[in-house]
Amino acid sequence: MNDGYIGHPDQLMTVQQGVLTQGKQNGVRFIDISNGAGLELTVLADRCMDIYQVRFDGKNLAFINPCGIVHPSYFARSDEAWFGTFTAGFLTTCGLTTIGVGAEENGVKLNLHGVIGNMPATQVNVERGESDGVPFVKLTGEMSENMLGYNMTLTREITIRHGVNEIELRDTVTNLGHKTAPHMILYHCNMGYPLLSENAVIEINSSDTRGRTAHAQDNIDKWRIVQKPQTEFEEICFYHNIIPGADGLARAAIKNSAEHIGVEVRYDPRTLDRFVQWSMFQKGTYVVGLEPCNGTIDGRDDARRNGSLKQLDPGESVTHSLMFGFLRV
């Protein structure tokens, strides 16, 4: 690729690492990457290596919760406190042993959406290289969940290639403990303004769609519609049974022709066999969540009863693969 044209790889792709210093974000490590073709992203090493912000052609795609970036030291295991540290951003990872609503099981409180999204990464590495003549940046790191007798790790790889407007994410979850562990994971992908507006369209090829609640079921005919921000709005969540494409991947997308941008989430439904759409159109909390997951979100015991709860035996691993594609529409 170089062939004498460049003196430093930053001429094609930039990678910068730093530490935030203000307020509750003080001490959070971040990694900024630009792919040289309109895609820019920020990864938070101290928050599960989740993706905070994505800009495409200079336009923001992610919803940022009013709390902004919060250092994991502020995390507290209560549903109310969780919202005070829920950065949202382009991707928040939920799990690893429970997702969805908080619940109590065998006298133990299970936190809303689990704890992994507040875990800092160890063994963080930034690799720059070239494959088939195309420069790439690969980030790797490991997060741990050690509680209630379970010992789970999440090893994450994020790959970005020069000139390719995609983010490839590959997660391997391993049970390092000595007993079988529940494994629940949800990728909380949060789309915001200006990608999200009443000009946006939601595209999901689903064989079956149902509301998570009675209120959502009453609004089942509106799942495709992105409404204007409203002073009061009750969130609506839908379960989709997505039909995979010819390549075996499931897809969900939001496109905004007025802004000429779109995003597509592609993932392997063999391990992520459920999909949740979260629509929230309240002023200041204006977001659509596209959420591949491996179970239902009404508590671990409910997932056990309905047969969606997954488990990992001691030493067993599972790998989840996702791809985010950024579109000019």
Q: Is the residue at 311 inside a domain?
A: yes
Written as six digits, the tokens of 99 are: 């997702």
- pLDDT > 70: percent of the chain: 98
Number of Cβ atoms within 10 Å of the Cβ of 80 = 9
State the pLDDT at residue 69.
Answer: 97
Q: Which of 113, 106, 111, 179 is nearest to 149 (CA)?
A: 179
Q: Is the residue at 25 inside a domain?
A: yes
State the pLDDT at residue 148.
Answer: 80
State the pLDDT at residue 147.
Answer: 82
Largest CA distance in the chain: 65
pLDDT band at 1 (very low <50, low <70, confident <90, very high): low
Q: Is the residue at 4 inside a domain?
A: no
Number of Cβ atoms within 10 Å of the Cβ of 233 = 15
State the pLDDT at residue 77.
Answer: 72
Predicted confidence (pLDDT) per residue in 77-131, tens digit: 777 777 889 999 999 999 999 999 988 877 778 889 999 999 999 999 999 999 9
Q: Is the residue at 63 inside a domain?
A: yes
Predicted confidence (pLDDT) per residue in 133-185, tens digit: 999 999 999 999 998 889 999 999 999 999 999 999 999 999 999 999 999 99
- pLDDT > 90: percent of the chain: 91
Strands laid side by side in the 39-44 sheet: 14-19, 29-34, 39-44, 50-56, 59-60
What CATH number should be reported for the domain holding residue 317? 2.70.98.10
CA-to-CA distance for 20 and 244, rounded, in angstroms? 40
State the pLDDT at residue 2.
Answer: 63
Q: Is the residue at 3 inside a domain?
A: no
Residue with tokens 């490839």: 168
**Mean pLDDT of all residues in 263-277:** 98
Q: Is the residue at 97 inside a domain?
A: yes
Domain ranges, residue 254: 9-327
Instruction: Give the pTM.
Output: 0.97
With contact defined as beta carbons under 8 Å apart, do 169 and 324 qualify? yes
Residue with tokens 């494994």: 183
Q: Is the residue at 182 inside a domain?
A: yes
Q: Is the residue at 2 inside a domain?
A: no
The number of domains in the chain is: 1
